[in-house]
């Protein structure tokens, strides 16, 4: 529509103008195209059938045939009556002068013959038409008795309709009997839907023929599978649920998390040789002998499982026992639980697929899900970091393990290594078995050692766990560590010797016993005490147990630690000379 053709609309409405980009010629073309499309749709889809006495053409299905109408009477050729030579007939007379024509024969269930009423004939209906149509469809005046037919009035003549050459005549007698379309009610249309004159075969037709070898009357066969001794219930009638852990799964869980599968048979067909097929996510693996099977009918069931237990490897859980145990009966529910462990590759967004099988036959019942995973991070801290100590001091440290990651740390182990400058180290506080730390959790242990030298006093704690940290630390090959050291304080102890008697006189050819007392008089501790003594040509015997003699040197081996002499605690050495 062009703006020049728009008219203002009054009736108390605001003036409106409509503009269009089409010119008048384009608009006419557009309307013609719409009319052509509408005409084609009517000619194809219209279910109307114009009566044969109608002279106007109608839209009809392909193959529809119209009965030709009788030609119009020639009024000019009608025989004149007496006394009419000098006048023309009135319109009423002309109408009455039209000849009586036979009504066109209609396609009724029985054959009908129509003749002019003046002959005294009647219309005979072959067959019990009223009985065939039934009370609900046959008119009350239609019966098996002869029926009088009123004179037929001819329709105006019309040219015989010429059908396109591509159209075909519709043979109503050859039409197939309608069939039921509801697969749930596989029965033919009955007397309540079909007219009484419709004669059925008396045998219900096959409604479904899905797949070769399946009986059409048993439509459920299209929804379940069989294979040898294996048989599956209809997949659409089996309730199958997979429940994953209600928390993010931690990587490196060598103990596994519990998964639950519930299967309920709502079908009248049973599933035999019930088997659960588990296709783990990437980085997940099935733990053998970790499953349980419970039946709502039989209680606890036995099973056998197969699979290598390697990451990503398929595992099967097959119910074992007698046929009543291995079959999922109608209305029965089986509940499976099993454990899946994880390694470092168990990242999120990997599919876990669990299928129901009958032996090796896939029942088409499965669930697929993704499992969210997180990872732990293990650290260690030993304290105090640096401290001061003297010779002989016994020192203690704390070793703290902390999980700073989002997931759990599994199979964590700790080791403490003392330097060579320590003695009497005590590691009894460390765990001897692997431990598990939840996200944010920590564990603290204590160790002790005694300073025994002025160097090599470092002390290192090391930790690792099953898969290690994301950065490559805290693994068995590269453990995370924390090191401490000791600042040694050097002291010169004041040690005095008391030898009694101070002057030793040895009788000729006579043995004697001498005693030497060594005392640390300062507040510090003396270590590695040695006494030098020249015994000349004498023979040494009966030396005190805490001492040793070699090359003219007496060495003190007693004390705790060995060789230590503490302030105010004198030691005694005695021996015999001969």
**Residue 308 tokens, joined:** 């290598």
At 535 the pLDDT is 74
At 37 the pLDDT is 86
At 142 the pLDDT is 52
Asked if residue 360 lies in contact with residue 230, where contact means CB atoms within 8 angstroms, the answer is: yes
What is the C-alpha to C-alpha distance for residues 151 and 115, in angstroms, rounded to an integer?
8
At 422 the pLDDT is 93
At 323 the pLDDT is 94
Determine how β-strand 540-541 pairs with β-strand 571-577. Answer: antiparallel
Determine, yes or no, domain membership for 299.
Answer: yes
Total of domains in the chain: 4
Query: DSSP character for 390?
Result: E
- Burial of residue 343 (number of CB atoms within 10 Å: 0-12, 13-18, 19+): middle
Whether residue 421 sits in one domain with residue 356: no
At 327 the pLDDT is 96
Whether residue 444 sits in one domain with residue 503: no
Sign of the Cα torsion 226, 232, 233, 238 reads negative
What is the C-alpha to C-alpha distance for residues 380 and 461, in angstroms, rounded to an integer?
7
Whether residue 356 sits in one domain with residue 424: no
Ranges of the chain with pLDDT below 70: 1-22, 45-228, 492-512, 514, 520-524
Whether residue 483 sits in one domain with residue 526: no
Whether residue 456 sits in one domain with residue 415: yes
530-550 pLDDT, tens per residue? Answer: 777 777 777 888 888 888 888
Determine, yes or no, domain membership for 383.
Answer: yes
Query: DSSP character for 96?
Result: H
369-405 pLDDT, tens per residue? Answer: 999 999 999 999 999 988 899 888 899 999 999 999 9
Asked if residue 550 lies in contact with residue 572, where contact means CB atoms within 8 angstroms, the answer is: no
Whether residue 521 sits in one domain with residue 384: no
Whether residue 453 sits in one domain with residue 544: no
Whether residue 231 sits in one domain with residue 368: yes
Determine, yes or no, domain membership for 395.
Answer: yes
At 3 the pLDDT is 45
Determine, yes or no, domain membership for 539.
Answer: yes
Q: What CATH number is attached to the domain comprising 263?
A: 2.60.40.1510
At 46 the pLDDT is 59
At 488 the pLDDT is 87
At 64 the pLDDT is 47
Least Cα distance to 525 among 558, 491, 557 occurs for: 491
Q: What CATH number is attached to the domain comprising 431?
A: 2.60.40.10
At 126 the pLDDT is 46
Which of 469, 489, 509 finishes a domain?
A: 489
Which of 328, 355, 374 finishes a domain?
A: 374
Determine, yes or no, domain membership for 233.
Answer: yes
Determine, yes or no, domain membership for 214.
Answer: no
**Residue 286 tokens, joined:** 């099935």
Which of 374, 392, 418 finishes a domain?
A: 374
Asked if residue 214 lies in contact with residue 206, where contact means CB atoms within 8 angstroms, the answer is: no
Other Cβ atoms less than 10 A from the Cβ of 365: the count is: 20
Look up the domain containing 557 and give its range.
Answer: 495-577
At 522 the pLDDT is 60
At 501 the pLDDT is 60
Asked if residue 229 lies in contact with residue 275, where contact means CB atoms within 8 angstroms, the answer is: no
Which residues sit opposite 553 in a β-bridge?
A: 532, 550
Determine, yes or no, domain membership for 237.
Answer: yes
Least Cα distance to 218 among 226, 209, 227, 228 occurs for: 209
Whether residue 370 sits in one domain with residue 241: yes
Determine, yes or no, domain membership for 455.
Answer: yes
Taking the mean position of all CA atoms in its chain, how far away is CA 462? 41
Contacts of 329 (CB under 8 A, 6+ apart): 265, 270, 297
Whether residue 266 sits in one domain with residue 345: yes
| pTM tops 0.85 | no
Other Cβ atoms less than 10 A from the Cβ of 565: the count is: 21
What is the C-alpha to C-alpha distance for residues 373 and 349, in angstroms, rounded to an integer?
9
At 557 the pLDDT is 84
What is the C-alpha to C-alpha distance for residues 251 and 341, in angstroms, rounded to an integer?
8
């Amino acid at each position: 529509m062009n703006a020049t053709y728009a008219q203002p609309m009054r009736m108390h409405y605001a003036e409106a103008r409509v503009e269009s980009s089409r010119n008048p010629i384009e608009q006419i073309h557009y309307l013609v195209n719409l009319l052509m499309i509408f005409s084609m749709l009517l000619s194809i889809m219209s279910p109307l059938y114009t009566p044969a006495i109608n002279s106007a053409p109608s839209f009809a299905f392909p193959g529809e045939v119209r009965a030709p109408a009788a030609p119009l009477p020639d009024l000019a050729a009608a025989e004149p009556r007496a006394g009419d030579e000098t006048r023309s007939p009135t319109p009423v007379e002309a109408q009455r002068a039209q000849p009586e024509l036979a009504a066109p024969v209609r396609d009724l269930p029985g054959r009908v013959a129509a003749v002019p009423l003046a002959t005294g004939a009647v219309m005979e209906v072959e067959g019990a038409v009223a009985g065939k149509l039934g009370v609900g469809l046959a008119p009350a005046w239609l019966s098996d008795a002869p029926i009088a037919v009123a004179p037929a009035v001819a329709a105006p003549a019309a040219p015989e309709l010429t059908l396109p050459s591509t159209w075909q005549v519709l043979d109503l007698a050859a039409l197939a009997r309608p069939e039921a379309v509801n697969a749930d009610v596989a029965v033919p249309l009955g007397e309540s839907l079909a007219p009484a004159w419709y004669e059925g075969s008396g045998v219900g037709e096959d409604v479904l023929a899905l797949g070769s070898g399946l009986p059409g009357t048993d439509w459920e066969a299209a929804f379940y599978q069989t294979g040898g001794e294996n048989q599956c219930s209809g997949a659409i009638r089996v309730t199958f649920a997979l429940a994953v852990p209600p928390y993010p799964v931690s990587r490196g869980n060598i103990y596994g998390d519990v998964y639950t599968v519930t299967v309920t048979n709502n079908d009248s067909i049973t599933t035999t040789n019930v088997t659960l097929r588990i296709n783990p996510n990437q980085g997940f693996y099935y733990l053998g002998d970790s499953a349980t099977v419970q039946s709502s009918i039989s209680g606890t069931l036995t099973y056998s499982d197969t699979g290598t237990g390697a990451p990503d490897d398929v595992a099967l859980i097959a119910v074992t026992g007698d046929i009543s145990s291995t079959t999922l009966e109608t209305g029965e529910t089986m509940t499976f639980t099993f454990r899946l462990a994880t390694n470092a590759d168990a990242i999120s967004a990997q599919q876990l697929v669990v299928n129901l099988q009958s032996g090796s036959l896939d029942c088409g019942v499965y669930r697929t899900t993704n499992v969210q995973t997180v990872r732990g991070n293990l650290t260690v801290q030993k304290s105090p970091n640096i401290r001061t100590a003297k010779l002989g001091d016994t020192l203690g440290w704390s070793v703290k393990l902390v999980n700073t990651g989002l997931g759990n740390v599994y199979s964590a182990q700790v080791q403490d290594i003392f330097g060579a400058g320590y003695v009497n180290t005590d590691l009894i506080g460390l765990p001897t078995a692997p431990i598990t730390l939840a996200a944010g959790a920590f564990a603290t242990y204590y160790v002790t050692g005694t300073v025994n030298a002025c160097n090599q006093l470092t002390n290192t704690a090391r930790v690792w766990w099953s898969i290690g940290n994301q950065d490559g630390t805290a693994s068995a090959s590269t453990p995370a560590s924390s090191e401490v050291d000791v600042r040694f304080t050097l002291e010169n102890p004041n040690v005095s010797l008391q030898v009694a008697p101070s002057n030793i006189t040895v009788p000729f050819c006579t043995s004697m016993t001498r005693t030497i007392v060594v005392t640390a008089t300062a507040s510090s501790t003396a270590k590695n005490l040695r006494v030098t003594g020249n015994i000349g040509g004498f023979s040494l015997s009966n030396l005190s147990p805490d001492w040793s003699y070699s090359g003219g040197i007496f060495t003190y081996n007693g004390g705790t630690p060995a060789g230590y002499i503490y302030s105010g605690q004198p030691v005694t050495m005695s021996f015999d000379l001969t």
